[in-house]
Amino acid sequence: MSDYSDAIVAEYLRRLEHAAATLAPDRRTELVGEIAEHIAHARAAGEVTDEAGVRDLLDRLGEPDDIVAEARESEPEAPPFNPYTGPYAPPVQQFRTPGIGLEIGAVLLMTLGSLVPFVGWLAGAVLLWASRRFTVGEKILATLVVPGGPFTILFVGGLMGGQSCSSSSTTDGAGNFVQGPTTCSGFAFPPWLGVPLLIIALVGPFVIGGFLLRRAGARASLEAPIPVFAPAPGTPRWGGLEIAAVLLLSVGGFVVPFLAPIGGLVCAWISPAWTTTEKWVATAIASLMLLLPIAGLVALRL
Amino acid sequence: MEPGSARNPLTQLRRGVLEFCVLALLGQEEVYGFDLVRRLSDVDGLVTSEGTIYPLLSRLRRDGWVSTTWQESESGPPRRYYAITAAGRHALAGFSTEWQRFRDSVDTLLGTGTGHDKNRDSHE
């Protein structure tokens, strides 16, 4: 056997291996091994003595593509070759039903978010108007039901102090106090009207919000499934990073103002498991938590 | 192999019959891979390329119709010997009966072979 004959055999086996890349790894190893054995036995039998003999041997074996095709045909029980399976395959294309994270974020910010005066509600309103799942009418309703959000009403009420009344008293010549006329500043509803209005203002946005979320959810369920890449095996949707983001964005902001929400924001954006929408919701919450201490300071000074 | 030949009825027929030819050969004695392939290859019209027999042998092994053992060889590398199993013999017996019926019927329709003559003789 010349070196050139060895090269011909090596080239043949290389082509076979290449063609067999479509087979399961253990099947590929087995097949290539058997063909290599066959060649070795032919050589041991002394029937391959020159280059012509090698070429004849390989001709009798057949084209690598044909052998691999036969191997695939001989496995009817195996699923047809799928380039999306196997150890080096990209993740299988999967679909998910559309989520309503944006809408939930909008409603939460426009209701509970108004605990941070003005800013929280405004962030929610931006998300509300960015959503495709609300009609214009619903957006106007949600915006106008309580502009500024339910808790802003309390905040504004606290700043204005409602109605304050004062009366001046003077001392007359005999040293007696004389009650002057009572003057009132500001405006207040009479209690019989003010209390129900306040309750409606506080509860209304939550009721409207719940109603709108149900409609958004119904519309989302009718939408086409969204193709998503399955996360790598073993990547849970809620790993340590995501839990850390939630903790930092929620209670963290009260414990360590500014730093915790920023940390949570970083965690949210580097998370491999969350979608972009979820990350933007996290961003909205983070900006809320960043403004919370500022709003608190402003309120104290006023 | 030309494109689409995997769907060629003759290719399919040959593939279906070939595995029982392997079992029939092994029914007589244990044979090692290279020798088995050469014997089948030497039968006219049965095998188009020797390499395609190996995937078939793998399947027979997975189906439990043949078993293999490695044996040292005085000349050359160790040999993988193939032997028919009880399940293989059972399958071969079933195929043999069916094949005779099938062959006779096809021969009758094609007007070839002895089955046709016999039938015609008995008919007349």
Residue of A41, A57, A72, A81 for testing the chain B interface, max B β-carbons within 10 Å: A41
Is the Cβ–Cβ distance between A205 and A122 less than 8 Å? Answer: no
Q: What is the mean pLDDT of residues A254-273?
A: 82
pLDDT at B4 (0 to 100): 47
Nearest-neighbour CA in chain B from A87: distance (Å): 22
On whether any CB of chain A is under 8 Å from the CB of B112, the answer is no
Distance of CA B36 to the CA centre of its chain: 11
- ipTM greater than 0.90: no
- Cα torsion at A244, A248, A251, A255 (round to 10°)? 130
Is the Cβ–Cβ distance between A206 and A113 less than 8 Å? Answer: no
Question: What does the block give as tokens for A198?
Answer: 């306040």
Nearest-neighbour CA in chain B from A79: distance (Å): 15
pLDDT tens per residue, range A129-168: 988 889 899 999 888 887 777 777 777 666 555 555 666 6
Is the confidence at residue A194, as pLDDT, over 70?
A: yes
On whether any CB of chain A is under 8 Å from the CB of B56, the answer is yes
Interchain CB distance below 8 Å, A66 and B55 = no
Of the two residues A204 and A63, the one the predictor is more confident about is: A63
Domains for chain B: give ranges and CATH numbers. Answer: 5-123 (1.10.10.10)
What is the residue extent of each domain of chain A? Answer: 3-90, 231-302
d(CA A277, CA A288): 17
Q: How many helices (H) and strands (E) does chain B have?
A: 5, 3
Choice among A40-49, A76-85, A86-95 with the minimum mean pLDDT: A76-85
Residue A258, φ and ψ in degrees, nearest 5 = 70, -60
